[in-house]
Structure 1
Amino acid sequence: MKVTVVRSGGFAGIERRAESDSASDPVLAGLVRRVDLDSVPPPGRIPDQFLYEIDIDGRRTTVGEAQLSGPLRELVHHVLGRAR
């Protein structure tokens, strides 16, 4: 599965994008199995917060930094961390 994460917003408004594929990343495969995109709450209206657009094989959601938790948070940090 291909996973793309785009972080935008924040005080400076700088966008950061990363992607990874579970075929070459077994840790990512485990994280994807634990994520339920249907249960992601909508982003709250908080000034200067980061927004994360997450795409898992064409299924997309957007979540605010304040709502980012659990397996979804792990997935986002894993994908963005591999892009360094």
Structure 2
Amino acid sequence: MKVTVTRSGGFAGIERRGESDSERDPLLSRLVDRVDLGSVPPPGRIPDQFLYEIDIDGAHTVVGEAQLSGPLRELVHHVLGRAH
């Protein structure tokens, strides 16, 4: 399983991207199992907020910083934390 997270927006508009694969990251599968992309609310229109594009094996969603919580927040921080 492959997970890609791209963070964009914010005050400076700097993009950050991270990618992880369950073959090399044993924790990734457990994090993904706790996430339901279908229940993610659309991003609100908040100036200068970060937007997170999340792709889990082709399933894609965009979430705003204000809506990023719980297991989805853990997954996003885990994947971005592994980015080099």
TM-score, normalised by the number of residues in structure 1? 0.98
1:14 aligns with 2:14: yes
Q: Deviations over 1:32-61 (max 9, x none)?
A: 000000000000000000000000000000
Q: How far apart are 1:74 and its partner, in Å?
A: 0.1
Matches within 5 A, 1:22-33: 22-33=22-33
User: Which residue of structure 2 aligns with residue 70 of structure 1?
Assistant: 70
Q: Distance in 2 between matches of 1:40 and 1:22?
A: 22
List 4+ stretches of structure 1 deviating above 2 A: none
**Equivalent residue pairs, number:** 84
Q: Which moved more, 1:7-16 or 1:23-32?
A: 23-32
Identify unmatched segments of 5+ residues in structure 2: none
Q: How far apart are 1:23 and its partner, in Å?
A: 1.5
User: Which residue of structure 2 aligns with residue 79 of structure 1?
Assistant: 79
TM-score, normalised by the number of residues in structure 2? 0.98
User: Which residue of structure 2 aligns with residue 61 of structure 1?
Assistant: 61
When the two chains are superposed, the root-mean-square deviation of aligned CA atoms in Å is 0.6
Q: How far apart are 1:26 and its partner, in Å?
A: 1.0
Give the SS at the match of 1:76: helix
Q: Distance in 2 between matches of 1:78 and 1:28?
A: 8
Identify unmatched segments of 5+ residues in structure 1: none
Q: Percent identity?
A: 85
